[in-house]
Every structure is written in structure tokens, then in C-alpha cells.
Chains A and B, each alone.
Chain A
Amino acid sequence: MGTIATLPGEMIIKGGILYDPTTRESRRQDVAIRNGRLVETAEISSSKAQALDASGCLITHGFIDVHAHFREPGREDKETLATGSRAALAGGFTRVCVMPNTDPPIDDPEGIHFVLERSEGLPVTIYPIGTVTKGQDGNELAELLEMRAAGALAFSDDGLPIQNGEVLRRALRYVRELGVPIINHAEDVYLRAEGIMNESALSTRLGLPGNPVQAEAAMVYRDCLLAEDVGGRLHIPHISSTLAVELVRRFKERGGAITAEATPHHLGLTEEAVRDFNTHAKVAPPLRTEDDRQAVVAGLIDGTLDCIATDHAPHTIEEKEQDIYQAPFGMIGLESAFGMAHSTLRKAGLTTEQVIDLFTTGPARVMGLGLTPLVPGQKAELVILHPDEKWTFTREDIHSRSRNTPMLGMTFTGRVRGTIGRNMWFKAPENS
């Protein structure tokens, strides 16, 4: 099992290639860190420094996740800000945006303060997202301006879609001048109905209620129309279907201020994962067909989709061991994100550097976050990746409090070997 430990005062990472996603330049270079900041190699005394061998590895900016559920407050049995942060670090992430569908939801400035206070001293930077509506009721706008002032990075009722179009329109107008994105879970609840998996020949075969691609597409279309008209910033999470990718492409061509994300599971898995009624593969929006999967991959390759986000959604074993109707939607994804996405996208023709962009500059652009260049003086927020290492994802790799993923046992190409976070660092187990 990998270790998460206090960052040594001095550290030198040797023999790797430094890839700076802010400039897209790579060069062979040793990387030196002192007290959490990047410094010139010469400043490090080789006797005191922890030396790390990065032969064959790329060293780059730590990943940013724009979409994770850390369940605090309310469901600390699934995940806390602290356990989620460790999972993030193990997955190569140094910044995580957390969704507000906690219990109670983060729907006021006090909630934003709570998350920020609870995040102090954690190994990754936590950015709270506030709800769009009070108590996520889908009707009354929450105090968006006050939450923004308190530090909310974006707004979303994720977990639930904003079904009322007028409410979304109002929210887009209200925060338009701030330039912060409204993130709307794109599923028409009436069309989704009781849908548990993708509606297809397979859902018919399994006797499971289907969730049609139109449920996603209709909402994406509506949301894009509203954003285009209002001129507000709309971010569409976890795109799952060919139709939705096409819609985003069309609206971007028309000049809409729209961004969108894809999850590693929609990139690498299809509805076949549900064939054995595996509740771990029950996610919303659902895993879809091979054609849809390929469309999502193509959307990331041609820039229609802006970034990769995990939609890390921890649940307890007890909940996922229920029957497929009762088991909740969602899978964890931080620790497997790079392996899954890199394996899939490299096979589809992307370079490792391009995949890194989708985990760094892509999400930074979506959320309006500055990305620090990898030069002396900057905070050391780094991930060390071996692009060719083949590894099997096991329970040992999971630092999250939850285990709900259908990916256990899968073999990936490309592994996070180490992550340098805030005062802490993660080190993967030695190659076996």
C-alpha cells in the first residue's frame, strides 16, 4: 500500500521529465523542493534532502478535480473532507472542488466557511461549491453572492438537476457578472423516471427500467439555450452520451460560454458493467453503449469537452450491497482516475501530456483557477506519473473511506507514483 506522510523539509526528485502544463513545455530536469516550495536544485543540500527516483516518470502540476462528493457534513461514514483529501492525494490531485449535496446541504455562507475551516491543514486544497437553491429544493435561489464572497467557487445542486428552467435561468442571470459557473446535473427527471441503467436492448434483457439518452440531451439542450440567451457561464457535468456531446459541440460553435466534463468511468466503461446487476456500476447518468463511450472520448480529443472530473461519489458497503433498486447511484473515482483515463485516451491517440492537460489546465479554465507555472518560488503542487507502468487497481490502492467501484481488478496503463500536496506527500508502493 502507498504511504501518505509529512512532506520532508528538503526533497529532490531525480531523473524525470518535467512537464509544465501552463507552457506545455517538457524538459529533463531534477526538481527540488524546500519547505513546500520549488527551488533551484543547487539550493538543496544533498545530505539532508529526501531523494526520489523518478526515472521514466513525468513530473507535472498536481491534478484538479472540479467534481467530487466528500459527504461532510452529515455522512462522515462515507467520506470526510480529511479522508477524501487522502484519496485525492493518492490519485494525483492537489485541488478538489467539493459538491454541496451534503446533509445539510452547503447552501449559505456559513456552510462555505464550515468547509473551508474543516479543510485547513488537509493535504489538498478544497474549493467549496455552494448550492444554487436553498436546501437544494430546486425553487428558491440560495445566497449566491454571499456564498461567493465567502469563497464558493461555483454553484450546483448536483445530485439533483434543477428541473425548473426558470430557476436555472434566474440563477444564470444573477451570477452572470461574477463569471462563475452554474453546474447543472443534466437529466430531465421525468424522462429519466425510474431509470437505473442506460435504456437499451441490455436494459430490456435485464428487465431494468431504462434511463434514455434523451433525458440527458433534453436537459443539456435546455440549459445551453438558456446560457446562450442570458450569457451566463454554464458547466455541464459528467457528459455520457453521443447526443449530449453533439449538443455541446454545436452550442460551443455558436459561441456559448459553455464548458463540459467527462468522468473516467464514462470514458472507460460501458453499460456492460451492469450486466451482472453490479450495483457498483449504478451511476447517474448511467454508463452507456460503446458508441456513446467513443463519442465522449472523441469529445475530449477535439476539445468539445474541457476536462476530466471524477464525480467521486462514496457510499457504504451496506448501501451498495442492497438490491439494485435500493442501492444508491455513484462510484468512487479519485484513485483510479488517472489510470482509467490515461489507459483509454492513450489508446485513442492522445499523448500523456494531453491527458495531463485535461487534469490540470482544462479544469483550471473551467473553474477560473490560476495555475502556477512550475518554476522556483512557486508552491510545490506536483504529481509524478509513470506513463507506461501497468498496474492492477486493488483495494490496497484505495484511501477513500468507501470501496464502491466496479473497477477493482482492472489493469491500467499509467500510474501515479507520487503526489506532493500541502505539507503532505503520497508515495505509491514500489514496483513489484
Chain B
Amino acid sequence: MSEPTVTLQHLLGLEGVSKQDIQILLDTGFRFREVLDRPIKKVPTLTGINVVNLFFESSTRTRISFELAEKRLSADVTNFTASSSSLNKGEGLKDTIQNIHAMKMDAVVMRHPAPGSTKQLSQFVDAVVINAGDGTHEHPTQGLLDMMSLQEKFGRLEGLKVGIIGDIAHSRVALSNIFGLNTVGADVMVCGPGHLIPPHISELGVIVNGDVDEVLSWADAVNVLRIQRERMGEGIIPSVREYRSRFGITTERLARHKREIVILHPGPMNRGVEIDSDVADGDQAIILDQVLNGVAIRMSVLYHLLAPHQPLEET
């Protein structure tokens, strides 16, 4: 039996990815979850395939998740972490492109501070390109793992009501969630400080609501975004106190809504700011499932983009 194949060549974002492709990636993700539950967690699927993890921004969690996924598929992994100072010297994409050519890489997993950088890269290299976060644009594997976690919890995605709370304007997680959830037929409401909601975002098919309590009374699940501390230093967010009281998912606030609301958070968390510890560690949170699903969905993406004709059964 041959596996269903995706039409994607690269994973640059979830915008424009078809519902069918998303469903295939999620289905395979669930099958890799089974692999992760086996005593021996390694399969030979990508033996002989060279993958480089190219991180121009530090992100330990995402890099480790990709690295685990690659190793469990038996790929040869190279890690490259560039400092932001080399970017300032203009040694950015161009050098990267040349190095990838020289190293004869089959795939590049890239995290870069500039929106569109992975798309630009894909236009110049033969290798498969996977976006591990391009600035404030997209983080497609995060979007997929969030959807996988929601599907696991609810058994469906279509018709699901998902709130996204926080600094939407500077969030690649929000955009990938919006694009992915829209495609599979879920409804999305975004909520956060008004000046951190991008203008015209309703044209992307989401509802904007400035009142967290209204979002909580509407949503089946909420994805709580990390507030970057720098924004407070810059005076963009007036204070931790005000943020927590207006937009934080606190124990008291959640208790007021006498419904089961599933809580997601892409991590790392500012406990006591955007989310209370009790909430993050409580029964309603599926934050640790997200971490595990992250490895599985990244295995699925790597598998479909790099070994699409190899039946998964034989692995």
C-alpha cells in the first residue's frame, strides 16, 4: 500500500497549503506518535539523507524538536547556529545559499529573523526547505502541531472555535494558526492589546475581540501567546501588572467561565504574566501534548517532503 503524498515541495508556511495536504500531514503525525511510543523510537526512513538545521535566532525548543525528529528518522544531521552579529555584517542569506550548495544538503530547516527568508532561500537552492520560523511571518510546524493537539483532544477540527490571545502583531505562531485553522474549517478569534492586533487582520478571516472574557465564553480552546519581555522594556506594553489583569489567563478568570476550555501555549511561558502556573499545569492545558506532538508532526513533514515514495509500513 502506498502512502498518500502531499503536493508540497517545501514547507514555507501554512498559507495556501490545501486542506488535503494538512490532513495527510496530521494523519501521518498520529502514526509517528505511535512510533514514539515504541521502545525503540528510531526508524530508517531517511537513512543517507542530509539535513541541516540552520538557526539564525536561538530557539532551543524548536531546534531540539527538529533534531529529535530527524534523528528518529535516521537522517544525517548538521546543526548550524549563526550569531545575529554575522547577520549584521550582511553575511545572511547569500552565504547560506552558497554553503548549502557546497555541502550538498538535501534539506534545510531554517529559523531566521526576516519574514520571507525561507521563501527566498527556496528560490535559490535545490534542497527541500522547511520554515522553522521566519521572523514575524510563519511557523508552520507550530501551526500543525497545534492543530494536531486540538484534533487529538476534540477528535475534529472543523467547526472548532479557537481563540488566540496575546501579541498577534509580532507572532508567527498566530499567523500559522490562522492560516491552518481557516483552511480546515475552524473559527478563529484573536484578542490582545489593540495596538498589537495587526490592522486589516479581519480580512484574513478572523474575528477581533479585545475582551478576553468574551473570547473565553466563546472558545472551545485558546492558544495563549508568549509576551516578549522586550516589549515592556520598549514601553509598548505599559506593565506586567496591567497585561496580566487585562489579558492574562489567570486561575480566577478561567474559574469564572464554568466550561471546559482547552489551553494551548507554544512556549516558553512567562508564568504569572500571560498565563498562571495553575492554569499551565492544570487539567485543561495540553501544553505537554503539544511538545510531544511537535516531534511527531516534524517527523511527518520530513517524511513527506524527503521520502514520499517510501511506504511507512516498511519502516
Contact = CB atoms under 8 A, between A and B. Distances in A.
B119 A207 contact: no
B135 A207 contact: yes
A203 B119 CA distance: 16
Contacts of B172: 207
B87 A326 contact: yes
Contact of B120 (A206, A319, A323): A323
Contact of A322 (B94, B113, B134, B200): B94
Contacts of B87: 326
A152 B196 CA distance: 46
A179 to B, nearest CB: 41
A208 B137 contact: yes
A326 B204 CA distance: 27
B199 A205 contact: no
A208 B113 CA distance: 11
Chain A to chain B: the 4 pairs with minimum beta-carbon distance, closest first: A277-B116, A207-B137, A323-B114, A201-B203
Interface in B81-115: 87, 90, 92-94, 112-115
A199 B200 CA distance: 9
Nearest to B94: A321
A276 B119 contact: yes
Nearest to B116: A277
B115 A204 contact: no
B268 interface: no
10 contacts: A201-B203, A204-B201, A206-B116, A207-B136, A208-B115, A208-B116, A208-B137, A276-B119, A319-B90, A326-B90
Contacts, number: 76
Give the interface centre of A203, A205, A209 by most chain B CB atoms within 10 Å. A205
A209 B198 CA distance: 9
Contacts of A200: 199-200
Nearest to A210: B199
B157 interface: no
Contact of A207 (B94, B134, B199, B203): B134
A207 B200 contact: no
Contacts of B119: 276-277
B204 A204 contact: yes
B175 interface: yes
A207 B138 contact: yes
A215 to B, nearest CB: 13
A323 B117 contact: yes
B120 A277 contact: yes
A199 B198 CA distance: 9
Interface string A275-318: 01101000000000000000000000000000000000000001
Q: Is the interface of A mostly helix, strand, loop or mixed?
A: loop
Interface residues of A, number: 23
B230 to A, nearest CB: 14
B190 to A, nearest CB: 11
Given A318-B94, A322-B92, A324-B114, A206 B200 contact: no
A199 B199 CA distance: 8
Give the interface centre of B87, B117, B198 by most chain A CB atoms within 10 Å. B198
A174 interface: no
Interface of A: 199-201, 203-210, 212, 276-277, 279, 318-319, 321-326
B15 interface: yes
A325 to B, nearest CB: 5
Contact of A323 (B92, B200, B204): B92
Nearest to B169: A204
A276 B134 CA distance: 14
A284 B112 CA distance: 24
Interface size of B as a range = 20 to 34
A201 B136 CA distance: 14
B115 A322 contact: no
A381 to B, nearest CB: 41
A318 B95 CA distance: 11
Contacts of B112: 323
Contacts of A205: 15, 175, 204
A212 B198 CA distance: 12
A206 B137 contact: yes
Contacts of A201: 200-201, 203-204
A210 B199 CA distance: 9
Contacts of B116: 206, 208, 276-277, 323-324
A66 B314 CA distance: 69
Interface in B111-147: 112-117, 119-120, 134-138
Contacts of A208: 115-116, 136-137
B198 A324 contact: no
A320 B119 CA distance: 15
A89 B200 CA distance: 43
A321 B93 contact: yes
Give the interface centre of A206, A208, A209, A212 by most chain B CB atoms within 10 Å. A206
A316 to B, nearest CB: 11
Nearest to A317: B94
A200 B117 CA distance: 20
Nearest to B168: A204
A363 to B, nearest CB: 36
Give the interface centre of B113, B116, B119 by most chain A CB atoms within 10 Å. B116
B54 to A, nearest CB: 13
B239 to A, nearest CB: 22
A30 B250 CA distance: 85
B18 to A, nearest CB: 17
Interface string B5-28: 000000000010000000000000
Interface string B267-299: 000000000000000000000000000000000
B87 to A, nearest CB: 7
Nearest to B179: A205
Contact of A326 (B15, B114, B134, B198): B114
Contacts of B93: 321-323
A277 B115 contact: yes
A183 to B, nearest CB: 30
A204 B200 contact: yes
Contacts of A323: 92-93, 112-114, 116-117, 120
Given A201-B203, A321-B93, A325-B114, A207 B175 contact: yes
A241 to B, nearest CB: 15
A203 B201 CA distance: 10
B228 to A, nearest CB: 15
Contacts of B200: 199-201, 203-204
